Structure 1
Amino acid sequence: MELLIEKEEIKNGEIITGKVKGKLGKVKIYEARLQGDIVLKGWDDNKKIDYFFATEKSFFGYLSSKIGHPFFVVKDDIVECYIDYYDTEFDDYVEIEPLVILHGNVDMLVNVYSDMVKKNLETSFSNWNPVGWSCKWNCLTNFKESLDYAKKYPFEVFQIDFWYKNIGDWEPKFSSFEEIAEEIKSYGMKPGIWIAPFVVLEGSDIFKEKKNWFVKDEKGNPKKIYNINGKGLYALDLTNNEVEEHIRNIFLRIKNAGFEYFKLDFLFAGIVKGKRKESVTPIQSYRKGLKLIRDLLGEFIVGVRAPLLPSIGYVDGMKITNMSEKGLYGALRDVITRYFMNGRWWWNAPDFSLGNNISTTQKKLFFMTVGILNNMLFLSDSLKGNLENYLFKAALKLRGGKVFVKNIGAKGYEIKAIGTNIGDVRFRLCIETEKSEFYIE
């Protein structure tokens, strides 16, 4: 391995660039001493932190993930900065993912970092920040009734989930794609659909008949990444030309049927480690597959369970938290502390299912926060329940402003938005105590 590193002083910190070649695994490109406790993280698995993290007085973040997977390992007061190339061999030098280390107040640094990523990757996404409803199991068997309920709300999109006989084959379970799209449009909403293009479910026709289409594990077997109702979910090899054609055909079929909004799930399958037909990193494979879909569709794309930095430029919205795993408090904290991505890299998509046991106070925290932060406003609760429509409409009035969040490293947050639909506003809240104060300035 040959690694050449350059360090350049910039305003508020330094930037680490360079190039590397050879057979590359996990390459440590830099090491530094930490000051203060960590208050913000990218994805975290307790062993490493992906993409970025911050203390109260510093910010460490990579500006891209085009070839390798960047991450940090923190040991006591030392941070080790790595890029994983998954044992791929490069005969010629490749540029490393740039790393910035910034110093100052974290409330300011998150926006500095976000702008640097935006400039480095020349981000591009839709100007449309949609509002809608995700029709899950609660509407599959009473589709028209759900459309009737949805008509009472200011939804722009009516998006269906799990409308297939099998994940991977993508044959509609009830009506045809054309019939579904036409019915939704007749209610004045854009048709949206859920699909997981990089995976196949055990038992599907594709899984039975196309064993050479999958990323392989160490023993040469298809790589399992997840379980759904006792069946394995397997990762497709996006460097396989037959897989590429399969993905192309599926998306052209659904797009031509009239769908205009696509929610792509289990995207992390594209970056799993394993053997592929082509000798590229999983990051390169993932970006190739996602670019194919972006170029085919030209429609609104939302990434779900997706790697953050490799997805920039290929999605219009990104699910940035998981309500079912983190609960209301954890999900709201993610929405607030990841606000700096919204409107710069994509539109943040909380994609909340509030449930029946949530109080009016908690609903207020959700709607006010998501509205002021100008996130995508999508719900998936049964529309038969009491969503308290006045809160939904209030959230819509709070959108459209330029946002700044104070006290990211604390328990109580202050959100300021300039130029919302009702003017300049300020929202102070503590998630744990459920106390909040709202001001029009």
Structure 2
Amino acid sequence: MSDLIPNAPEPIKKAPVKISKLVGVKGMNDLLPPDSYIWEKLERSLIGLAKTYGYQNIRTPILEHTGVFLRGIGEVTDIVEKEMYSFEDRLNGEQLTLRPEGTAAVVRACVENNLLYDGPRRLYYIGPMFRHERPQRGRYRQFHQFGIEALGFAGPEIDAEIILMCQRLWDDLGISGLRLEINSLGNESERLAHRQALVTYFESNISLLDEDSVRRLKLNPLRILDTKNPSMQELVELAPQLINFLGEESLAHFEQLQQILKANNIVFKINPRLVRGLDYYNLTVFEWITDQLGAQGTVAGGGRYDPLIERMGGKPAPACGWAMGIERIVELMKEQGLTDEQTTQCDVYVVHSGGKTIIPAMVGAEVLRSAGVDVMVHASPDGKVSSFKSQMKKADASGALFALIIGENELEANSFLLKDLRRSGNQSSYPMEELLDQVIDAIVSEND
């Protein structure tokens, strides 16, 4: 342009704009293949476990009113005080929170929808939870839980049932080395008597308490027993034990639970310091613990929470349940070599020569898929027809049992080639009308 117009200024050359790479939020990780295959396998096991015991799926929103967790979890807990992702909805001023755990949300849904109107419910959930804590091995800011909730059942047999479910899961997955710890928190009056004894004991040793424990002393002294501060362990060990305050009914509940576990050959240890981290528990509490994942050794835990349904605005009803972190179980499976990676993306890989062969390739693939066969049709990354050699490499890399080949010659003869990729390497030609029968027979024969 400056050559055509006299005295025209030279065009300004703009520096190329550097586009920064976007990254995920710290502690909220992507799930990528092949790990996603391990997760799918675990999720299938979990859902199958729930169905084995007659539990039905419930799904709640990841966003709840903040009050659901303030009331359900308890204000004097690490979750509420330090870890919740809470914010004000700028459209209507509502206080909302990304769910940090599943039980309070499930109970809210049951109360709101009157789910117990016709009797008790066995429910399970699976999905993401959110806590603002320091990311560490198997513990992330977005993490995933599977949980069991048995609502409306008062007897110790349901406490035992949900513990037996855990043991069955470990057996099904092949996980070893977990230990079960159980305790009883009794009922409200027993906990109040124990609470007063704890306050008296810790007040007489207040100089030995850390800052968190001093704060909890008046609000929730039971939580002091859950401290991870090494310098306080001896003090906690000598504190009054709740089991010594249990009445006849609570002791009978705890004793029958133990009898059922023993009858099913479940090995457990009674831990009088086991209190769990949430306010809503009573009577039975339990944890499954490992030494293979560092300092945070609990992989699943739960217990009975009879007061929660009434606390959430429903008619009084007993309840119990447990939850496990899926990330932690996956880490444990990896640690124990139980995570065989997926090597097969499909049963049949369709190879074609482009042009008119694409249509029979796509039609044949859909016929096979309708019969339950997993099929991948070759697609070129650049839109051009790939060579047969290149396509066969892709077919082999896919882990497919067979390559189904449709070239120009096959199109003319209305036929296809079927090549065995895993055993003999042989290939045979068949009429197109025999496609389904020949492929199904070949897969069955391959798996025999």
Same structural fold, with TM-score higher than 0.5 when normalized by the shorter chain: no
Decide which structure has the larger Cα Rg and report it: 2
- Would you tell me which structure has more strand in proportion to its own residues? 1
- Would you tell me which structure has more helix in proportion to its own residues? 2
User: Which TM class, normalised by the smaller chain length?
Assistant: under 0.3
Query: TM-score, normalized by length of structure 1?
Result: 0.22
Taking CA–CA contacts closer than 8 Å with sequence separation of 6 or more, which of the two structures ends up with the larger relative contact order?
2
